[in-house]
Amino acid sequence: MEQPYSQRPEWSDVTPLPQDDGPNPLVPIAYSSDYIDAMDYFRAVSKNNEKSERVLGLISDIIDMNPAHYTVWRYRQQVLFELKSDLQKELDFVDEIASSQAKNYQVWHHRLVIVDTLNNCDRELPFINGILDEDSKNYHAWSYRQWVVKRFNLWDQDLKYTDDMILIDVRNNSAWNYRYFVLFNNPEAPSQETIKNEIEFTKHKIQLAPNNSSGWSYLTALLDKANQPLYTIEPFLEDLVAKHIISPHLYSTLIDMFIQRAKLEETQVNPVALEYCDRLATDLDPTRKKYWQYKKSTITSA
**pLDDT for 229-287, tens place per residue?**
999 999 999 999 999 999 999 999 999 999 999 999 999 999 999 999 999 999 999 99
- Average per-residue pLDDT for the chain: 94
Residue 19 pLDDT grade (very low, low, confident, very high; cuts 50, 70, 90): confident
CA distance 132 to 98: 12
Catalytic hit among 47, 103, 263, 295: 103
Q: What is the DSSP letter of 247?
A: -
Q: Is the pLDDT of residue 22 over 90?
A: no
* Predicted TM-score (pTM) above 0.95: no
Task: Indicate the pLDDT class of residue 29, thresholds 50, 70 and 90.
Answer: confident
**Mean pLDDT of all residues in 110-121:** 98
Backbone angles phi, psi at 229, to 5 degrees: -65, 160
Res. 9: pLDDT tops 90: yes
Q: How many CB atoms lie within 10 A of CB 29?
A: 9
Cβ proximity of 214 and 173 under 8 Å: yes
pLDDT at 204: 97
For the chain, how big is the Rg over CA atoms in Å? 27
Q: What is the mean pLDDT of residues 162-184?
A: 96
Q: Is 103 a catalytic residue?
A: yes
Cα–Cα distance list, 127 to 123, 131, 141 (Å): 6, 7, 9
Rounded CA-CA distance 16/6 in Å is 8
C-alpha distance from residue 71 to each of 51, 59, 92, 104, 206 (Å): 15, 10, 21, 14, 46
Strand residues in 60-137 grouped as ranges (E): none
Count CB neighbours of 194 within 10 A.
Answer: 13
CA distances from 230 to 7, 21, 107, 126, 139 (A): 72, 60, 43, 39, 31
